[in-house]
Structure 1
Amino acid sequence: MAAYVDILKSEFPQIDQEVFDYITGVLASGGADFEDGEEVYEAIGGVLQEVSADCKNEDDVRDICLQMFNTLKLNNCHSSEKQVLLDAPVQLSQISTESAATDVQGIWMLKRSQNTTVNAKKLEKAEAKLKAKHERRNEKDSQKGSSPLVLEEASASQASSKKDNRVDQSGRNRSYDIRIENFDVSFGERSLLQGAELSLAAGRRYGVIGRNGLGKTTLLKMLASRSLHVPAHISILHVEQEVAGDDTGALQSVLESDVLREALLVEERLLNARIAAGTADSMGSVRLSEIYAQLEEMEADKAPARASVILAGLGFSPRMQQQTTKEFSGGWRMRLALARALFARPDLLLLDEPTNMLDVRAILWLENYLQTWQSTILVVSHDRNFLNAVVTDIIHLHSQRLDSYRGDYENFVKTKEDRLKNQQREYDAQLQYREHIQVFIDRFRYNANRAAQVQSKLKLLEKLPEMKPIEKETEVTLKFPDNFEKLSPPILQLDEVEFFYSPDQRLFYGLNVSADLDSRICIVGENGAGKTTMLKLLMGELTPVNGVRHSHRNLKIGYFSQHHVDQLDLNVCSVELLINRFPGRPEEEYRHQLGGYGITGELATRPVASLSGGQKSRVAFAQMTMPCPNFYVLDEPTNHLDMETIEALAKALNKFKGGVVLVSHDERLIRLVCKELWVCEGGNVRRIDGGFDEYRDILQEQFRKEGYL
């Protein structure tokens, strides 16, 4: 007989037989799964307290549960296989033959006697707890078996106001302002925001900025999922995932994003069909009139033209607008997702790095379009010029909190500097005041005549507010090693190059370009014009159909792909990534290399998959620069980088003694780094002497001619 049965009988001699059977059944069937005495208490503690004749307190019952747990563990250790031990024989004669024959669980499913001494609700609660525990364990075991890498998840919590909840649920709240107070956001075990506040006034455009990995994208996801409370009547659209590829045309896909318009049009067609067939009643005509009035009010007839303008602004030609969504690449499907959001006009539009998927022309169009946006926008962006053109407010995420600033990014920089200076002055003044008081206390501490004054000064010192030093963000630094010999020209050139993927679609013809170790060249142009293809021709990854590629025999190229994440092993940590790519070096060297790009300490030992987009880019930079190339080819290097890192990248490229050719849409980087601007269009590449200003003017003029502005 099991020892826990003896404990149960001795501690609860007057226990009801049915409750006794229930408890022993729980312990016998779940004995191997209990991890400690606390879990035994959670399963049966409430029931035991209820049936205790001498009114045992909670601590006593916990001790008894611990004793029973210890005997369970002892039994499991001595048993080679899992057994169910019963304290008494089961009288099958008391169970109906039919029940025993059809249901093995009939013993536990018999209806309880109504005169039992236990509280039925507590008994059910204990059963539910045990069942939930088993389900959690099974779910955890299945996850371990199916995937070697389980990523952390984000979560949010906030202090809610009962008054606000009542108003929201009653439907009386018609304000489109959003205020979320005292909320926390975490990612796994890491706290991203603590006691934060977020206020969004209707119709204003907010830019969220902050260092990589601090939680900007997570904040948007918490708002989109309504894990942070946003009033129910406020519609939210988060441009996060690309449109699914199917047989729907691009233009139709955008039109379908206006759910109300689509529903009214479907209902209109059904009613017209019934009227034509003579099956509609009198109310059908009334409803049809209402539908026509609603469609007219929302200007439904102008919707196709509006959708077409949005698509054209984002780079979709008339032919592309008729193509099915499955014909587009991932980048173009992301543009479609953005177009759908712009067309649907939600009350709160959430954009996460919208310029990453766009070329300079599309960015310029989007800036102009959003300047007249009527509802609220919350955009995470690293593009300084985009923020200056679009936003009315800046929200700075740092030190696990959110600080708001009126104005664009340039105004934020100035205001932040002024704030820091004022805070530093206040800190210095308070420090000086404290020191002055402390000098008096130290001087007269043992002077009996001054004892009262010393005590007064001590109390004054205690009442002073707590001093906190000014928090300054560490400066981001990047360095591209340049310990190589100077190479004599020509370094890299293409002569009369012709290239195509298929003969009927010639991408380049008569292409003549060259670069040397002093080059700082930026290539711009619309998506699909061949910028990445030209980079691959320069590197020798693609062979010209006609023409010649020349390169110096000692040329060593470092390449940063815009799809660099696809080239990283996400299942290993950053240190292991470098060890696998460049084996045979001391671990300190790998850590030093990663540290030069801001991947330090615990970050370096985390799976790459758990890093933010900007942190993955830094890992890619560390990997690219480890062999010490003398020439860099960079394809959209600023995607996912924060503004501080972009500034550091510009400084590093300017200090680098080798050559640089880059494709970028980031105006700030182009202006800081590039000496030459090449425009890729019409099957060739041409140099613009006036630099980015001239290129921007050309695009603005095109917009005016095409009627997009």
Structure 2
Amino acid sequence: MIRATGITLRRGVKVLLDNTDFIVNPGERLGIVGKNGAGKSSLFALLQGELDLDGGDLSIPEVWKVASVRQTIPDRSRPAREFVIDGDERLRALQEARANTPDSDGHTIAELENALIEADTWSAPSRAEQLLAGLGFRPDQWMLPVQEFSGGWQMRLSLARALMAPSDLLLLDEPTNHLDLDAMLWLERWLVSYPGTVLLISHDTEFLDAVARSILHVDQGKLVRYKGGYNDFLAQRAERMQQSQIAYERQTREAARLQGFIDRFKAQATKAKQAQSRVKALARMQMVSPLREDSSVSIRLPSPDYTPDTLLTLNQADLGYPGQEKPILAQVRLMVRGGARVGILGMNGAGKSTLVKTLAGKLEPIHGERQEAKGLVIGYFAQHQLDSIDADATPLQHLARLAPDVREQELRNYLGSFGFSGDMVTSLTAPFSGGEKARLALSLIVWQKPNLLLLDEPTNHLDVDTREALATALADYGGSVLLVSHDRHLLRSTVDSFWIVADGQVQEFDGDLEDYRDWLLARSAQSRSEARQEARADSGADTTDRKAQRRQEAELRQRQAQQRKPLESRLKKVESTMEKAQLRLQELDTLMQDPDFYSDRYKDQRPALMAEHGELSKTHQTLEEEWLDIQEAMEEIGRQV
């Protein structure tokens, strides 16, 4: 198990962990939650030996293999599938050793071949392909160089590489940030079946609920454990805070009563002894500090002044980028009505962002029409909206550029509604966290009171509290919302209907997120079935031929088994004899390494023992050669077609 006792960790002057304890048992799936900057990622760095403790003890079983997602990619020229297999470092080391071992060294080759079989070397390509397929990579992408993928897809490859590594402890820090909904559902299933220990940092509450069986809360320098998923944590946390407040109030009343007695009677000689005993009781009292709720972010979206009934339409529109031979989405017909709240579903690469960019007017349709209503005001949050934040400007300067004639106090009040107050309003944005930059970007977008919000993955950098604040703000927002997000909680609490983007088309989806999950599973099963049929068609074998082929394969396996049987029996006897000879050789080696062996004590026995050692060495060598011959004969049987 992992055991932490009294651990303390500082980063600069800030205390992240303060004399706190925790235990993680083998096989647990533990979600780690807390505010941005609370120390979650630093805890991971401690577990990986990248940081040193300032106090306390942290122990991890030495035999445990630890896997995590690397943020840097060592060789971008590697094919994607090979890059993923590289995650199994032991397998790669064995393969390299086998390739560099001369054929004349039969004993070493035999040992390496056995080790490679134990490491599942032959199934490694198919295991890597299953990971790639689950995370959304098409078969025609599996052998593309890593460098040909965008940053988000490269992070998916890094995730697949971590999952490929044999491990006892898997550390995942925000693994869903670059995943779409179908890849997230696949990862949930994969983690639930993972046999090792999982420590998971995530701001996606539904993902935590699906995967975690306990929650570790990083709270004011302490690590507090709660049983169950995220919703269980919220309920238990609320109960704990209530009990803490009751205990604090009770102790405050008792302390006031004692202090009142002391103040009243300390000057009276007849009561001095009683007053002194109260002083001692008050001194012994360990003051309870009430649990404080972390300061939550409040986001208020200004409602539009006017909303047309029909905001925007696309009519027979082909959508894509200039110069493309084929549009990404074809013959799109849709209408955005006033008050619409639509979630846009679909796999990464299906065209969701292309659709939103076209609706926002950032892309012109290749063919067809895009028509805006008079009075339409769009607020567009792009996937890479954070790139628009000027690192050398303050939040107040950003907003003043949009509204140069508005009083500074009004700008400050507005920014305060997005959690920017005090010195933060006049601080440079360079050191801001991703969540803080996302909030600032959103505040700038909605300053003009848009009546249509187009949001493309707005929660990628937001912590749980800010996501909840955004969900609440969108629920109260008076305009229309089109939302692309893998955050199921945000979708459930914000939208009323769905569009699905798939196979070059955009259609209304008649269902909820559970129906979409079932649709994905059915589509995946259909794709696998079609792939198998295509493989059979490509091989030129019809059903009859396949039956005949299966019969021939069964006959071959039976014939091979009969040929192997006497060899396997002989191999078993050789291995047993080799093992006995090896044990006796080890005994003799130990004896002959003892200086006392060459004293008079062993004078009479020494010649016979040395002769026995020589004979056993020859016998062991002969047995090794026989063992290799048997192995070669069995491999030859396996190569028969």
SS of aligned partner of 1:698: helix
- TM-superposed CA distance for 1:189, in Å, is 4.0
Q: Distance in 1 between matches of 2:22 and 2:91?
A: 32
- Cross-structure match for 2:148: 327
2:318 aligned to which of 494, 498, 504: 498
**Cα distance change, pair 218–589 in 1 and its aligned pair in 2 (3 A):** farther
Q: Equivalent residue for 1:291? A: 112
- Report the 3-state secondary structure (helix = DSSP H, G, I; strand = E; otherwise coil) of the residue aligned with 2:359: helix
- C-alpha distance in 1 between matches for 2:435 and 2:70: 16
Question: What whole-Å deviation, never above 9, does each CA across 1:318-340 have from its counterpart, x for those lacking one?
Answer: 11112221221111111000000
Question: Any conservation in 2 of the 1:558–1:632 contact (CA below 8 Å)?
Answer: yes
Letter in 1 for 2:317: V
1:227 aligns with 2:51: yes
Q: 2:183 aligns with which of 362, 375, 382?
A: 362
C-alpha distance in structure 1 between counterparts of 2:527 and 2:354, whole Å: 28
Query: Counterpart of 1:348?
Result: 169
Residue 569 to residue 345, structure 1, CA distance change in 2 (3 Å) = farther
288, 305, 315: which one aligns with 1:485: 305
2-side partners of 1:572 and 1:239: how far apart? 33
Greater Cα shift, 434-443 or 384-393: 434-443
SS of the residue 2:375 aligns to: coil
Which residue pairs with 2:34 in the alignment? Answer: 210
Change (3 A) 1:196 1:619: farther
Cα separation, partners in 2 of 1:610 and 1:183, compared to 1, 3 Å:
same
Partner of 2:4: 179
Q: Distance in 2 between matches of 1:354 and 1:440?
A: 58
d(CA) in 2 for partners of 1:497, 1:332:
28
**1:580-659 matches, cutoff 5 A:** 580-659=401-480
**Residue deviations 1:263-294, cap 9 Å, x none?**
211222232xx32xxxx3xxx11111110111
TM-score, length-normalised on structure 2? 0.77
**CA-to-partner distance for each residue in 1:210-255, whole Å, 9 max, x for gaps?**
1233333343344445214665654433324263663321111111
Unaligned runs of 5+ in 1: 1-175
For the 8 Å contact 2:169–2:198, the answer to whether it is kept is yes
- The CA distance in 2 between the partners of 1:601 and 1:222, in whole Å, is 34
Kindly indicate whether the alpha-carbon contact (under 8 Å) linking 2:217 and 2:224 is maintained by their aligned counterparts in 1. Answer: yes
Give, in angstroms, the shift of residue 584 of structure 1: 4.6
Mapped contact 1:224–1:237 kept (Cα < 8 A): no
Aligned residue for 1:249? 79
Give matches, 1:33-112, under 5 Å. none
Q: Using a 3 Å threshold, how does the CA distance of structure 1 residues 574 and 454 change in structure 2: closer, same or farther?
A: same
Q: Aligned partners of 1:460, 1:675: CA distance in 2, in Å?
A: 61
Matched, 1:551 2:381: no
- Deviation, 1:456, is 1.9
Q: How many residues align?
A: 522
Q: Does the 8 Å contact 2:451/2:479 carry over to 1?
A: yes
The answer to whether residue 511 in structure 2 is matched with residue 690 in structure 1 is: yes
Quote the Cα distance in structure 1 between the aligned partners of 2:341 and 2:70.
33
Pairwise CA distance, 1:349: 2.3
Q: 2:382 matched to which residue of 1?
A: 561
The whole-number CA distance in structure 1 between the counterparts of 2:424 and 2:167 is 37
Distance 1:512 1:242 in 2: 42
Look up the match of 1:373: 194
Residue type at the aligned position of 2:375: N
1-structure distance, mates of 2:21, 2:124: 38
Deviations along 1:655-698, whole A, 9 cap, x unmatched?
Answer: 11111111011110111111011111111111122221211221
Distance 1:180 1:607 in 2: 39
| Cα RMSD for the two superposed structures | 2.3
Cα deviation, 1:479-533, whole Å, max 9, x if unaligned, reads 0012x43333221111111123344332111211111331111101000001011
- Shift of the 633–244 alpha-carbon distance from structure 1 to 2, 3 Å rule, reads farther
Confirm or deny that 1:664 pairs with 2:482.
no
One-letter amino acid matched to 1:551: E
Report SS of the residue matched to 1:339.
helix
1:219 alignment partner AA: L
Give the one of 158, 169, 193 matched to 2:17: 193
Match of 1:573 in 2: 394
Q: Deviations over 1:17-72 (max 9, x none)?
A: xxxxxxxxxxxxxxxxxxxxxxxxxxxxxxxxxxxxxxxxxxxxxxxxxxxxxxxx
CA contact (8 A) 2:91 2:121 kept: yes
Task: Report the CA distance between 1:439 and its aligned residue.
Answer: 4.0
Partner of 1:31: none
Q: CA offset at residue 203 of structure 1? A: 2.4
Instruction: Tell me by how many angstroms 1:586 deviates.
Output: 4.1
Equivalent residue of 2:32, what SS? strand
Asked if 2 retains the 8 angstrom alpha-carbon contact of 1:517 and 1:660, the reply is no
User: Are residue 384 (structure 1) and residue 198 (structure 2) matched?
Assistant: no
Letter in 2 for 1:570: A
Give distance in 1, aligned partners of 2:4 and 2:63.
14
Q: How far apart in 1 are the matches of 2:77 and 2:280?
A: 77
Matched residues in 1 for 2:8 and 2:282: separation?
A: 33
Classify 1:612/1:219 alpha carbon distance in 2 versus 1 (closer, same or farther; 3 Å).
farther
Comparing 289-298 and 621-630, the one that deviates more: 621-630
Q: For structure 1, which segment, 388-397 or 262-271, has the greater mean C-alpha deviation from structure 2 after superposition? A: 262-271
From the superposition, tell whether residues 515 and 221 of structure 1 become closer, same or farther in structure 2 (CA, over 3 Å).
farther
The residue type paired with residue 498 of structure 2 is L
- Could you tell me whether the CA contact under 8 Å between 1:244 and 1:325 is conserved in 2? no
| Shift in alpha-carbon separation, 1:438–1:183, aligned structure 2, 3 A | closer
User: Using the alignment, how far apart are the partners of 2:412 and 2:200 within structure 1?
Assistant: 34
> Among residues 277, 299, 302, which one is paired with 1:456 in the alignment?
277
| SS of the residue 1:465 aligns to | coil
Q: Aligned in 2, Cα 1:303/1:213: closer, same or farther, shift over 3 Å?
A: same
Are the equivalent residues in 2 in contact too, given 1:688–1:694 (CA < 8 A)?
no
1:238 maps onto 2:238 in alignment: no
Percent identity among equivalent residues?
35
Q: CA deviation at 1:604?
A: 3.7
- In structure 2, distance between residues paired with 1:574 and 1:361: 36
Q: CA deviation at 1:261?
A: 0.9
| Alignment-mate amino acid for residue 90 of structure 2 | L
Q: In 1, distance between residues paired with 2:205 and 2:299? A: 19
Question: Partners in 2 of 1:697 and 1:632 — Cα distance?
Answer: 29
1:705–1:550 distance in 2 versus 1, CA, 3 Å: closer
Return the alpha-carbon distance in structure 1 between the equivalents of residues 461 and 51 of structure 2.
24
> What SS does the corresponding residue of 1:505 show, helix, strand or coil?
coil
Q: State TM-score, norm by structure 1.
A: 0.70
1:380-429: CA deviation from partner (whole Å, max 9, x where unpaired): 11111110111122111221222122221122112112211221221222
Q: Whole-Å Cα distance in 1 between the matches of residues 124 and 218 of structure 2?
A: 38
